[in-house]
């Protein structure tokens, strides 16, 4: 072995010994040796549940925006198809077309309160109290009515968006 090589090996022996002792001692060798803490098992589902509920609520609000627009006598299948599916789209289009054919325009907006969102996998239920008093055909005066309990079922589609699949505006289960 050459003198230079022997000197290099001799110089690294104390460092190697120190690393071996530190590695076997059970004590952390420094701030960068420990693995980052894994997220707790409950943190991910909770944040996912909160995200799902927020997405469902946003889809629910978008559904009401579409309903308000279509009931002003502006039937728009694309608008409804973006927020609802199947029979809900068909029913709302028929109603909107009826309004358009008879020059009926629903003015104002319903007031939606006490919204409760529950998500179970790819299905969600939104229960709310909907006050229709400020949402009437133009020129119509009505006797004030109490808010109606309304249930809306949403399904998560393959692309991850939530769409209304059932709209029960007559016999909801919310406590209003």
Domain for residue 81, yes or no? yes
Domain for residue 55, yes or no? yes
Alpha-carbon span 86 to 93, nearest angstrom: 11
Residue 59 structural domain: 44-168
**pLDDT tens for each residue of 148-164:** 999 999 999 999 999 99
Domain for residue 38, yes or no? no
pLDDT attached to residue 15: 30
* Number of domains into which the chain is organized: 1
Q: Can you list the pairs that 154-159 forms with residues at least 24 positions away whose Cβ atoms lie under 8 Å?
A: 154/56, 154/59, 154/60, 154/123, 154/124, 154/125, 154/126, 155/85, 155/122, 155/123, 155/124, 156/122, 156/123, 156/124, 157/85
Statement: residue 11 has pLDDT above 80:
no
Domain for residue 138, yes or no? yes
Domain for residue 25, yes or no? no
pTM of the model: 0.71
Domain for residue 16, yes or no? no
Rg, the chain, Cα only: 31
- Domain at 112, CATH number: 3.10.450.50
The alpha carbon dihedral of 151, 85, 102, 111 has a sign of: positive
Domain for residue 1, yes or no? no
Domain for residue 76, yes or no? yes
Let me know: does 148 contact 91? Beta carbons within 8 Å: no
Alpha-carbon span 87 to 93, nearest angstrom: 10
**pLDDT tens for each residue of 45-91:** 566 889 999 999 999 999 999 999 999 878 889 999 899 999 999 99
């Amino acid at each position: 072995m050459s003198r230079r090589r022997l000197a290099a090996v001799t110089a690294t022996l104390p460092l190697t010994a120190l690393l071996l002792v530190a590695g076997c001692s059970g004590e952390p060798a420094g701030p960068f040796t420990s693995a980052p803490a894994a997220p707790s098992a409950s943190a991910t589902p909770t944040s996912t549940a909160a995200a799902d509920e927020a997405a469902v609520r946003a889809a629910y609000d978008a559904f009401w925006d579409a309903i308000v627009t279509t009931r002003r006598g502006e039937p728009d299948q694309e608008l409804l198809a973006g927020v609802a599916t199947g029979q809900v789209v068909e029913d709302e289009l028929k109603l909107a077309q009826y309004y358009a054919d008879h020059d009926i325009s629903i003015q104002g907006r319903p007031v939606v309160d006490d919204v409760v969102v529950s998500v179970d996998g790819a299905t969600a239920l939104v229960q709310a109290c909907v006050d229709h008093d400020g949402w009437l055909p133009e020129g119509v005066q009505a006797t004030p009515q109490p808010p109606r309990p309304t249930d809306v079922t949403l399904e998560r589609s393959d692309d991850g968006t939530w769409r209304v699949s059932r709209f029960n505006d007559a016999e909801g289960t919310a406590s209003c």
